[in-house]
A and B are shown apart, each in its own frame.
Chain A
Amino acid sequence: MIHIDPIYNPLNFLRASFSRRLNFVVAILASVVFSVALVFLFEQSRQTVQNEAMDHATQLLNNTALRVNNILEQVEVATDNTGWLVSRHLDAPDSAYVYSRAIVQNNEQVAGCSVSFEPYYYRDRGRYYSIYTKREMGQVMTKQEGSESYEYFYMDWYQLPKLLGHPAWTEPFLDEDREEEAVQDKMILSYCKPILDEKGTYVGTIATDLSLRWLSETISAVKPYPHSYSFMIGLGGTFFVHPDPDKLLYQSIFTETLLQDNPERLALGKAMVSGEEGMRQLILDGELCHVFYKPLGETGFSAAIVCPERDIFYGYNRLRNVVILIFILGMLLMHIILSAIFRREIRPLSTLAEQAETIADGHFEQTLPNNGRIDEIGRLCQSFSEMQQSLVTYIDEIKSTSAEKASIERELYVARDIQMSMVPRIFPPFPDREDIDLYASMTPAKEVGGDLYDFFVEKDSLYFCVGDVSGKGVPASLFMAVTRNLFRVIAQQGQSPEEIANQINHALSAENDQGMFVTMFIGMVDLTTGRLDFCNCGHNPPVICEPGRKACFLPMQYVNTALGTWDGFEFQGESIPDIRKWQILLYTDGLNEAENPKYELFGNDHLIELMNGVSQMTAQEIIQMLQEEVEKHRSGAAPNDDLTLLSLSIKE
């Protein structure tokens, strides 16, 4: 497995620096915008250059064709001007000498002229009668031709007008009799015209020769670009004018297509031999060229100008390359300058980042330099500086508050200890009395709570109570302390539960500006008879479990009001004749209203259900069981109220 160091990961390289990323994005955007603009510009320019080149080449070709046609026309006119005389004087065979010679002598561009007749047309002249005048080396010579080895009537120039029935130009052909050395001088093409007698019957051919040099020079002179060239092909695609001597006469435009497929060249050749005019792009001799072609008069020949693309687009390509170079250099320069600018602009942020890291390490005293900028970065630095100062102040405040809070917490812990010490916490509470099984617990929801319980034995009577002060925290705890003291003091006077309630109520109601109150269940058991006297002052009904019966809430006739709410209220007490062997549970609403994280209550039904199985349990076991059940119900939720439990069972 290949491990790539994250440092060399290009993405990480970009991610690591904002200026780098910004520079990259700018470079990309600039490249895209400029590239699109340049491509458009190049395309348009190229099209313009191409159009101009096409116009230029087409114009040149048209001019060339016009010049060639002029030359051809001169020959045609020269032939026509004299040819009709031949037909008129068919009765005078020797006149052929005169006309043949006249055409050559009177027309400088004419290389030769033949006035030839069908075999045995003139019986007395035999099978062959062809008068031929040719211009050679500046001399004009006339002779009679035709023999077994030269049967002129099989020649193209003779047969074409005969077979076609109208004048025609031959393909250029090599006249071996000519003494000139240059091929162009030996190559001639002939304008051939039928000689008709007075009945319109074909009797012979008058053929006027034109040296290919005339056409060759005219066509070869066309050279619009340094590497461009012109060529001319005949009816069968044979090259009759071409700068490559190997191709001249020996090859046709189709030759290269015979052994290997070359559809473009084939199409060009077909178009040219078909007499079409136009332009085609194709690869010639390994180079992309534009070939402009046009037919030459009625000859069936076609001339073409080959313009290599590199020539046509030479200026354009040079300009394009320079522009591309400038573009690349410009982009590089822009990249360098932007890098420097971005780095300089972003530097305060880097400094800020470093200092933020220092502050993050806890060095709040670090001072931020003022860079004097008023832009966003300057404002950010300023804001950050202010934030840092606020942070320092805030942290100081937190420190101070934390110290105060710690002090308060310490005091609260002391208060808690004091509060807890106010209720009996030693179990079993009456080790010398086996008839009393009593267990109690008090768990404040906060450091200190507003619940209370108490019990004591006075003259074979067990006094006990469980109370719940309205509210929580310190005020409730103080109210609880007062209530507990009142209970202890009043109960020890041997008062009945309702009397105790009346007195506590009176004491609490006086000067109770805070409007606090306490619910309380006060009970007194005569340990000799098992009789329970009780007074419920607005408190939750205790749960009782009689032997052999299901657990239930203690049915009460009087619920009374809470203590401290109504001065002078007459509390009503009740009694149960014998509660021995009963299990009695007193509790605060921290039990049945304990909430789980979903705010579902522990519930009275659940409590009764649990209490159904406690007949064989000790008071301590019941309390522990209930504490565990509450803990389980809370499922980690914080206690929502103080929880106080007191379980009592009197044995016989």
Chain B
Amino acid sequence: MKNIPPILAFLAALLLGGAAEAQQKYVFTPQWTPQAQFAGYYVAQELGFYKDAGIDLEIVHPNSTESAMSRLRQDKSHFTTIQLCQAMEIIDSGMPLVNILQTSMNNGLVIVSRNHLNPAQQKGIRVGTWSVGFDQIALAMSLKEDLNYQWIRFANTINLFLAGAIDATLAMSYNEYYLLKQSGVEVTEENTYRFCDHNYNVQEDGVYMKPDFYEKNKEVAHRFAEASKRGWIYCAEHPDEALEIVMKYVTMYHVATNRVMQKLQLDEILRLQVDRDSGQREFRLRPDMVKQASDLMLESQLLLKEVTYEQILAR
């Protein structure tokens, strides 16, 4: 072993370089409290996929005083998940973001109405929505379809709806939709409006970074995205094991949920990750959907100017 071949020397340098890089801790912040919506990241973390990718990752959830975007802005987190429309809104407001991984291929937003009525046929009704957003497509739809919903923003989930204070509520098909069912509300095709079935099928969750940080850490971003993707594929192949890992996080953070809800959520999240056209988990941002979202939001004045696919996608 006196003469070390140049190629081995190069590999050793790479490994050493990797080791040096691994010493830096990276922080990932999903946009919500722990739940199966983020199962792929938990699985990648718990099964060491990030470690395998040479990333020392910490998952830090947002809290009532500090949102995920706030953490990203302040460089407390390096990666965060965010919905496409929300990302476009933020970009439009002057904070550029880049998408390094797109997990959702379908829109999960629904409107559930009281009293077995079709939400799309009730003008001017009170519709509950989250005080923190996620409703851009719904706002656009309300204007476009001339429904002029009266939006009631709420901090909690479905209590206003249950108390009869609002006529309908926005819900995520993987979360509030099942919460409503769990509350004994009869949720049927009749009183449920699924945006994905009515020409509003715009992708949702993806992983975003600040462009300046991305430019300096492209390799890390790429490895993070690949490890996360690996985590999600593992979830699809081993949903029971993934659910166990989700329940570990849920329990750790005292989230008021249960195994049934998380299982239903995981199943739905995985379903939304399958592209309707190809039937595959594509993990890519679709230019047509970006264009559609941008047009809808421009039309409803949620955007001042168009946000393009090129602007969002990390190169």
Contacts and interface: CB of A to CB of B under 8 A. Distances in A.
A270 B162 CA distance: 13
A269 interface: yes
A160 B182 contact: no
A298 to B, nearest CB: 11
Interface string A573-616: 00000000000000000000000000000000000000000000
B256 A174 contact: yes
Contacts of B257: 250
A160 B163 contact: yes
B188 to A, nearest CB: 15
Given A254-B181, A254-B183, A155 B163 contact: no
A156 B160 contact: yes
Nearest to A165: B165
B158 interface: yes
B178 A156 contact: no
B145 interface: no
Interface stretch (B43-51, B260-268, B282-290): B260-268
A238 B163 CA distance: 13
Contacts of A237: 182-184
Given A159-B152, A236-B183, A300 B264 contact: no
A166 to B, nearest CB: 11
B210 interface: no
Contacts of A250: 256-258
A252 B256 contact: no
Contacts of A174: 256
A259 B263 CA distance: 9
A254 B182 contact: yes
Contact of A154 (B66, B153, B165, B181): B153
Contacts of A164: 163-165
* Centre residue among A159, A171, A173, A256 by max chain B CB count within 10 A: A159
A249 interface: yes
B71 to A, nearest CB: 13
Interface in A163-203: 163-164, 168, 170-171, 173-174, 176
B90 to A, nearest CB: 16
Contact of B264 (A159, A236, A252, A258): A258
Interface in A233-270: 235-238, 246, 249-256, 258-259, 266, 269-270
A81 interface: no
Nearest to B255: A250
B137 interface: no
A149 B64 contact: yes
B131 A236 contact: no
Nearest to B256: A249
Contacts of A171: 159, 162-163
A235 B165 contact: no
B156 interface: yes
A273 B156 CA distance: 19
B154 interface: yes
A151 interface: yes
A149 B65 CA distance: 5
A266 B264 CA distance: 18
Contact of A235 (B163, B182, B256, B263): B163
B271 interface: no
Contacts of A252: 182-184
A159 B178 contact: no
Contacts of B183: 235-238, 252, 254, 273
B126 interface: yes
B8 interface: no
Contacts of A253: 184
Nearest to A161: B165
A8 interface: no
B163 A270 contact: no
Contacts of A156: 154-156, 159-160, 163
A254 B184 contact: yes
Contacts of A154: 131, 153-155
Contact of A236 (B159, B165, B260): B159
A174 B155 CA distance: 13
B163 A258 contact: no
B184 A269 contact: yes
A466 to B, nearest CB: 122
B279 to A, nearest CB: 26
A116 to B, nearest CB: 13
B32 to A, nearest CB: 15
B139 interface: no
Given A159-B154, A176-B64, A237-B184, A258 B159 contact: no
B259 to A, nearest CB: 9
Contacts of B202: none
A268 to B, nearest CB: 10
B109 interface: no
A254 B153 CA distance: 26
Contact of B258 (A160, A251, A269): A251
Contacts of A150: 64-65
A151 to B, nearest CB: 6
Nearest to A183: B254
Contacts of A235: 159, 162-163, 183
A92 to B, nearest CB: 29
Interface string B244-260: 00000000000011101
Contacts of A254: 181-184
B166 interface: yes
B256 A236 contact: no
A587 to B, nearest CB: 116
Interface in B81-126: 126
B159 A170 contact: yes
Given A156-B156, A249-B256, A255 B182 contact: yes
A173 B156 contact: yes
A163 B260 contact: no
Nearest to A246: B258
Contacts of A176: 64
Nearest to A249: B256
B165 A259 contact: no
A238 B156 CA distance: 14
Contacts of B256: 174, 249-250
Nearest to A266: B184
A591 B242 CA distance: 120
Contacts of B181: 254, 258
B233 to A, nearest CB: 25
Interface string B117-161: 000000000100001000000000000000000001111101110
B159 to A, nearest CB: 5
Contacts of B65: 149-150
A273 B184 CA distance: 8
Interface string A351-392: 000000000000000000000000000000000000000000
* Centre residue among B153, B165, B182, B256 by max chain A CB count within 10 A: B182
A252 B261 CA distance: 11
Contacts of B185: 236
A529 B108 CA distance: 150
A168 B264 CA distance: 32
B268 to A, nearest CB: 12
29 contacts: A149-B64, A149-B65, A150-B64, A151-B131, A151-B155, A154-B131, A154-B155, A156-B159, A156-B160, A156-B163, A160-B160, A160-B163, A163-B165, A164-B165, A171-B163, A173-B156, A174-B256, A235-B162, A236-B182, A236-B183, A238-B183, A251-B260, A252-B184, A253-B184, A254-B182, A255-B260, A258-B178, A258-B261, A269-B184
Interface of B: 64-66, 126, 131, 152-156, 158-160, 162-166, 178-179, 181-185, 256-258, 260-261, 263-264
Given A155-B156, A235-B163, 10 more contacts: A155-B154, A156-B160, A163-B166, A173-B156, A235-B162, A236-B182, A255-B182, A258-B261, A270-B184, A273-B183
Interface of A: 149-151, 154-156, 159-160, 163-164, 168, 170-171, 173-174, 176, 235-238, 246, 249-256, 258-259, 266, 269-270, 273, 300
Nearest 3 pairs of A and B residues by beta carbon:
A236-B183, A163-B165, A154-B131
